[in-house]
């Protein structure tokens, strides 16, 4: 929910906003952080109060002071009208899509989307007569030609999962607005700290709080924020499912939030240093990082984003699969695993080719995605240096 205090606080810089947002210490005897309210039933003093629902909390599925604190904070940070919390990033994508579609509708989804987003569209929404068409992430204003009378939403993700294409979201949003189409962004990579989704024209913004908001790989959380036009419809859909996040998870996420700007700034610096160093290595064909001047989306990134996070990809020059496995398996500091955004560095071999339908993914060699954590950069470089020796030998 939006608050006047929040509006005033948002005038500060992000590092300040994340330390202040959603906090009401004097509603909790002055304690700095809200307590964990666990509850299903909420009591009403009288029948009249119950019939009028005359109190801020009415039932556990509708929220508690703990979940409300995080919703209010995120609404402030994203520059939104309202936010709902759900148990995972993928659930957030599902709720956003269900808010903006109906039987017989047509959806436009970026070909670079997080693969489970496609599985939800093709495996679930299709059963309800919703058609999904995938578009080239670099289409920009050209998306206009793909909008049909029955198109209800465009789902963008910038940069794209693993492949890192940057989209011209303001141009896509302008084309959509003209035709009354809802624009959704999966903003997990940049977070609202580096890409203000609603200011850039998006109606609904999804964030997998599992990643940078959590920051410690100990939490699953999804957030959907909405602008004034879509806030009521989002809250309505959310209430119909009663698929909220619990108060313990909200409390962990609030703890993560207070250091989020600091962690992102450090992970940005470390990732850029490593990406620049990798770009100069002879074993590398390309580094896919939008903050590097050679990236095809660099100018758009510079125009629309205020920073870059710790996730980027590399394409190795052609080399045997066994050599790549030896490169990855022998790394001491990079874990092999899904997800990202935690304090620990990760690496993941990937191949987008099996999912693509609108564009072709045909890199020069094997592809790896890195998530840079909070270790010392010199140690991470030493670890990678040793890996390159294995690649050649």
**Cα Rg of the chain (Å, integer):** 22
347-351 LR contacts (CB < 8 Å, sep 24+): 347/371, 349/324, 350/162, 350/313
89 binds ligand PLP (CB under 6 A): yes
The per-residue b/e assignment along 220-248, b for 16 or more CB within 10 angstroms, e otherwise, is: bbbbbbbbeebbeebbebbeeeebbbbbe
Q: Which is nearer to ligand PLP, 23 or 156 (CB)?
A: 156
Distance, in Å, from the CA atom of 334 to the CA atom of 40, rounded to the nearest integer, reads 41
Subset of 143-162 contacting ligand PLP (CB under 6 A): 157, 161
Quick one: CA dihedral 168, 171, 174, 175, positive or negative? negative
The smaller minimum CB distance to ligand PLP, of residues 101 and 188, is found at 188
Residue 210 binding ligand PLP, by CB under 6 A: yes
Applying CB under 6 A, the span of 73-81, 135-143, 207-215, 314-322 interacting with ligand PLP comes to 207-215
Q: Which is nearer to ligand PLP, 90 or 182 (CB)?
A: 90
The answer to the question of residue 290 lying near ligand PLP (CB under 6 A) is no
Q: Which residue has the tokens 């009521």?
A: 232
Q: Taking contact as CB under 6 A, which single stretch among the options 40-48, 82-90, 143-151, 324-332 is the one that binds ligand PLP?
A: 82-90
Q: Residue 62, Cβ neighbours under 10 Å: how many?
A: 17
Site string for ligand PLP, 217-246 (x = CB under 6 A): ---x-x------------------------
Closest to ligand PLP by CB, 112 or 387:
112
Q: Does 90 contact ligand PLP by CB under 6 A?
A: yes
What is the bridge-based pairing of β-strands 204-208 and 182-186? parallel
Q: Is 88 in the site for ligand PLP (CB under 6 A)?
A: yes
Q: How far is the CB of 165 from ligand PLP (least distance, A)?
A: 13
The b-or-e profile of 160-180 (16+ CB within 10 A means b, else e) is bbbbbbbbbbbbbbbbbeeee
Piece of 27-35, 144-152, 204-212, 227-235 that binds ligand PLP (CB under 6 A)? 204-212
């890996």: which residue's tokens? Answer: 387
Residue ranges binding ligand PLP (CB under 6 A): 88-90, 114, 157, 161, 186, 188, 208, 210-211, 220, 222, 339
């Amino acid at each position: 929910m939006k608050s006047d205090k929040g509006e005033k606080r948002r005038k500060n810089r992000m590092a300040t906003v994340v330390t202040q947002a959603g906090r009401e210490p004097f509603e909790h005897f002055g304690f700095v952080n809200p307590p964990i309210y666990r509850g299903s039933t909420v009591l009403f003093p009288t029948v009249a109060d119950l019939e009028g629902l005359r109190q801020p909390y009415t039932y556990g599925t509708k929220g508690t002071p703990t979940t409300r604190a995080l919703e209010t904070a995120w609404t402030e940070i994203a520059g939104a009208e309202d936010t709902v919390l759900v148990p995972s990033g993928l659930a957030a994508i599902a709720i956003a899509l269900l808010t903006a579609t109906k039987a017989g509708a047509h959806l436009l989804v970026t070909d670079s989307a997080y693969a489970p987003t496609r599985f939800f569209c093709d495996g679930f929404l299709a059963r309800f007569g919703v058609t999904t068409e995938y578009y080239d992430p670099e289409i920009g204003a050209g998306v206009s030609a793909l909008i049909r009378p029955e198109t209800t939403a465009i789902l963008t993700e910038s940069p794209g999962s693993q492949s890192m294409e940057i989209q011209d979201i303001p141009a896509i949003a302008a084309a959509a607005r003209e035709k009354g189409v809802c624009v959704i962004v999966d903003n997990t990579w940049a977070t609202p700290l580096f890409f203000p989704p609603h200011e850039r024209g998006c109606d609904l913004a999804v964030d997998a709080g599992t990643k940078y908001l959590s920051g410690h790989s100990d939490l699953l959380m999804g957030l959907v924020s909405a602008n004034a036009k879509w806030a009521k419809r989002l809250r309505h859909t959310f209430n119909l499912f009663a698929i909220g996040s619990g108060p313990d998870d909200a409390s962990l996420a609030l703890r993560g939030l207070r250091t989020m700007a600091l962690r992102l700034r450090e992970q940005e610096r470390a990732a850029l240093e490593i990406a620049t160093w990798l770009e100069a290595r002879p074993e590398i064909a390309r580094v896919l990082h939008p903050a590097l001047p050679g990236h095809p989306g660099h100018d758009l990134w510079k125009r629309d984003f205020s920073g870059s996070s710790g996730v980027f990809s590399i394409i190795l020059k052609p080399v045997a699969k066994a050599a790549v496995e030896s490169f990855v398996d022998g790394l001491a500091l990079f874990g092999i695993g899904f997800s990202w955004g935690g304090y620990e560095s990760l690496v993941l071999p990937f191949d987008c080719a099996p999912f693509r339908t609108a564009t072709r993914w045909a890199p020069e060699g094997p592809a790896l995605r890195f998530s840079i954590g909070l270790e010392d950069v010199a140690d991470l470089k030493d670890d990678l240096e040793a890996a390159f020796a294995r690649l050649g030998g």
